[in-house]
Structure 1
Amino acid sequence: MPNSELMPIGVFAQRSGLTSSALRFYADSGLLPPAEVDPVTGYRYYDADQVARARVLRQLREIAMPLTAVEAVLDAGADEAARLLDEHIVKIEWDAATARQKAAVIKAALSGTVPGLLIATLKGPVLADAVEQVLTATAHEPGMAVLAGLHIEASDEVIALTATDRYRLSTRTLVPARPAEQTWAGTVDGDDLRAAVAEVRRSVLVRIEAVPHGIWLRMPAREDRHCRMLPEEFPDHRQMFASLGKVTTRATVSKDLLLRALEEHPCEHVALHASDHEVNVQHPNDDHPGISLPATVRGDALQIRFEMTTLYPALSTAIGPDVMLDLRGHDRPVTIRSADRGDLTTLAMPINFDHAA
């Protein structure tokens, strides 16, 4: 007779979330043998201590982990189990990306798709750098998929790349080696573009073609990459730029010195005080003099405060040795530009004084 503290397979199934048939399968595979089997009836009984293992087993199978890997995770220590899980997720992501690319090729073949509308032909390294710079202003937020995308606008003269996470907005314009066949605009999945950047960087030229539901990155001597379109409407960034208002203070400062001062800053909030011939990096609520940086400042003296997670990436992606900060007041967006190249522009939203308190 079984121990009265053991539970029959049906009760154990309810507590573990596994079906009875799954428990029999895992018992026969050696992953989760019962604590006791009645020699007469063949009924299987489980111990309460096995519930935790059974639940983890179920969760591992829910993320499509193969049995051999499941066994390794269950029998490993915490650090090794975490490493095995990370390896499994990387493989899933790689398989998914490969499947998306193959599916795009198959769909094109099935529909007899002819080459898409030419958006632009660009130098691969230039396009890769621009995509990486602008994508720093993206975010993954539930219900707002468009914030994870890169908006592309093509004309016969330039191609503009724009992204925003609501706290920053970055836009960069590029002059194509070959212009668009007609004006075009759309928002492309940022993760697809990130996955393609390494190949784009190694291609001398990249031909960007628009097709239904996506774009193709055509690269000579390399595998073409497909990036999906996002259906949501991109925020009206042109209206945002148009409504910024007059610049009251303009400060030009060394990008490297400013980034170094931010790296040494101990708080999550930071205040910039622009006056005379300097920009001072301060604690928002401290009378300490902070770190003074030489700068060219024109206009009114002004202090403005930021979240470090907003300001630092906005500055780090700037092009060239210097950055130009166009300030409009302590509560207005700041325009951050490269002092000698204006083709990458970033808006950074400040925080109010109460928030920084």
Structure 2
Amino acid sequence: MPGPPRAVAEVRSAVRPGLRSSPQPVLVACSGGADSVALAAALAFEGRSAGVRVGGVTVDHGLQPGSAERADRTTELLRGLGLDPVLVCRADVGAGGGPEAAARTARYAVLSGAAHAHGARVALGHTLDDQAETVLLGLGRGSGPRSVAGMVEERTADGVTWWRPLLAVRRDAAREACADQGLPVWDDPWNADPAFTRARLRAEVLPLLEEVLGGGVAPALARTAAQLREDLDALDDLAAARPRDVDLRVDGVAELPAALRRRVLRLWLIDRAVTDLQAVHLAAVDALLTRWRGQGRVDLPGGAGVVRTSGRLVVLAPGDRGSQHHDAPPDPEEPPA
């Protein structure tokens, strides 16, 4: 008896290990596009043999004409695949950060709420091609190595597990899997709108790179991201293993390599309830360790601050300007650290 078509088998194989690794129910986020429909079909098929309950969520952003009707058609498709429960959730999209970012923030808030309500993890249909685009966006924005490392297959945040089982599957394979199973798909016009950066990367930049570099660019970017994540995870583990007292001793931290030192500082500040840290904040605090010349308080998000005093870094509460004694600057003849 012949098996399923190649693309169908590839998508099913991609979801099978993660699906069988946990009995936790799954909610697949499905827009009606080829990637998420292929994912939903694979999870529906594999979920039965794995004994895992699989449901679906369609988010109606209300940003395009006919979005409510389109959401209804997607839920009909998901019910036809045997998913249960199948939910339609309306997202309240704000205006901050541009339309792409605002829609994403609203969508993840809705999905998070559905996951909590049903005790489920959320499966997302991001493919290898999405990963390559994410890596290029991170490179272009200069937002640090973690953004260049791209998306991870599984992460847990605020009690919700986000699962991306198709990160090694090409977008064309997902579309082919839908065609092989006779599943209708919807092509979001925003995905081809040159007003959006990701759409231009998809339509212009990646094809040009493929042409100039002789092909294989998207898989190469995905491999690079995976290798970089391994290095970053190792550094994060080393930083997490170091002691972080309430007041951080300068000795023992200042001489660490920069990549490790700044991670220690970041974790120490997060331990002190300082959040929304950016590179400029960490650089200023780092200067209290490595370029100490008697500088005063470093202001941080939320109104907190850091000063250096008695050989330690101290976090000051909002409103405390740090008028107490602090370390004297080094002798002018002393060479810089």
Q: Shared topology, TM-score over 0.5?
A: no
Q: Using CA pairs under 8 Å that are at least 6 residues apart, name the structure with larger relative contact order, 1 or 2.
A: 2
Taking structure 1 as the reference length, the TM-score comes to 0.24
Of structures 1 and 2, the larger Rg is shown by: 1
